Amino acid sequence: MAGLGSTAARGASGMLLAALLVLTGCTAPGPSGPAQGQVQQLLDSHARALLDRDEAGYLASLDPALVPAARTEFARLGKIPLGGWSYRVTRVDPVGTGRATATAELGYRIEGYDSGPATSSRVLDLVERDGRWYVAGDRPADGGPEQLWQQGEVTTVTGRRSLVLGVGQSRERLTEIADAADRAVPAVDAAWPEHWAGRVVVIVPASVDAMGALLGAPAASYKGIAAVTTGEVGGGPNAPADRVIVNPEAYGVLGDFGRGFVLTHETTHVATRTRTTAATPVWLSEGFADWAAYRGTGRTATQAAPELARAVRAGDTPAALPDDKAFTFGGDADAMARAYESGWLACELIADEWGETELTDFYRAVGAHPQRDGAVEKALKDVLDTTPEEFTARWRAYLGERLG
């Protein structure tokens, strides 16, 4: 009986092994792609060649079909004083025999202006030829931004405290913008006593549609916006670099005062970036930027806050400071104007009644809080020795005094 049991067991094991072999044989192997480290090495070599201005080495990483466009891009990038260019591969996916895609974070740094790199997510198409992998395509990740040099020939103007990069713009116009940015930097220095880079990079695309592409957003959202600042809040000195991106259409219809105001406002965002965090409400970050831009200009409250003045005189004084949603682009333009004006007058109130030093201390204290909840309340108590209820009542009264 024991022998019979062993024979049966051996037969069952044999049938199981045969079944496994059949199943294994019926499963087709999936396509294999390059290892992530292999792709990283490829892109590291590509980046080094760009920084060394080695065109042959730069093109050697590319599929021949991509070379003509890449040669043009290489020339355009030569107009930008690059101090760094790197890729960080985050994922590699095979998509067929001899083909794959890689997702990577591109970081580039402008020499003399950026303490950290400007970053964006890219998707790279890869192709294998004769046992070697090449880059066959390079595009923004879903929802990601284009880069200026992909939109056309880049013109570079270097100011005393600014660098202006433009596509489809005359050198004369870019020089005017650089001059305005140069004036904005010392105005921001006077309003924000904390150390910052003291330089600003301004990007001027050819149109509002091109601006939207640089921001990875619909152009309609920015149609009436003269400029925006990109960057990472609260990231410290090595956070991704800020860029002021100008809407050439909206900026172009402004007068001298308006252009200077816009660039000072946006440069303030650059200067205060490391102190602006998720705890900072938009009314404070935008209000402070407006306060810095209006400071010393002699503009009256009614000139600076016409929409809010109309509301106050009509008996419609806002009950509270605006929430973040009130600053959303693409909505009611008058309502958004009132939101900006409300934030400015809140900062103006603090500077008038407590002092400019207390205003900057308040800004820093709010941003230093670990979360949004309680940040303003704690800063009001610690810096201004008041409560949200008392501050709101004083702000509403101040609107009547200044705008009524």
What is the model's pLDDT at position 240?
A: 75
Determine how many CB atoms are found less than 10 A away from the CB of residue 175: 15
Write the DSSP assignment of 340-354 as a string of letters. Answer: HHHHHHHHHHHHHHT
Domain borders along the chain are 36-144, 150-272, 277-404
Instruction: Give percent above pLDDT 90 in the chain.
Output: 84
CB 162 within 8 A of CB 199: yes
How far does CA 251 lie from the centroid of its chain?
A: 20
Residue 87 makes CB contacts below 8 A (sequence gap 6+) with: 40, 43, 44, 46, 47, 104, 105, 106, 107, 122
Is residue 168 packed enough to be buried (19+ CB in 10 Å), middle (13-18) or exposed (0-12)?
middle
Residue 291, token pair as written in the block: 């306060």
Quick check: 33 pLDDT over 90?
no
What's the average model confidence in pLDDT over 189-215? Answer: 96
- What is the arrangement of strands in the sheet containing 132-140, beginning at the earlier edge strand? 82-96, 99-110, 118-129, 132-140
What is the model's pLDDT at position 27?
A: 42
Lowest mean pLDDT among 18-32, 45-59, 298-312: 18-32
Q: Residue count of the chain, please give it.
A: 404
Q: Give the chain's mean pLDDT.
A: 91
Place of tokens 């022998």: 3
User: CATH number of the domain at 150-272, please?
Assistant: 3.30.2010.30
What pLDDT band is residue 232 in, cutting at 50, 70 and 90? confident
Residue 53, token pair as written in the block: 């201005």
Reported as a single tens digit per residue, the pLDDT across 326-359 is 998 877 889 999 999 999 999 999 999 999 999 9
Quick check: 4 pLDDT over 60?
no
Determine how many CB atoms are found less than 10 A away from the CB of residue 297: 13
What is the model's pLDDT at position 231?
A: 78
**Among the CATH numbers 3.10.20.600, 3.30.1330.10, 3.40.50.10070, 3.10.450.50, which is that of 36-144?**
3.10.450.50
HEC-encoded secondary structure of 96-156: ECCEEEEEEEEEEEECCCCCCCEEEEEEEEEEEECCEEEEEEEEECCCCCCCHHHCCCEEE
Q: How many helices (H) and strands (E) are present in the chain, helices listed first?
A: 15, 9
Place of tokens 């200067």: 271
Lowest mean pLDDT among 3-12, 85-94, 218-227: 3-12
Quick check: 92 pLDDT over 70?
yes
How far does CA 15 lie from the centroid of its chain?
A: 62
**Cα–Cα dist 61/74, whole Å:** 13
- The 8-class DSSP code of residue 241 comes to P
What's the average model confidence in pLDDT over 272-300? Answer: 96
Quick check: 30 pLDDT over 70?
no
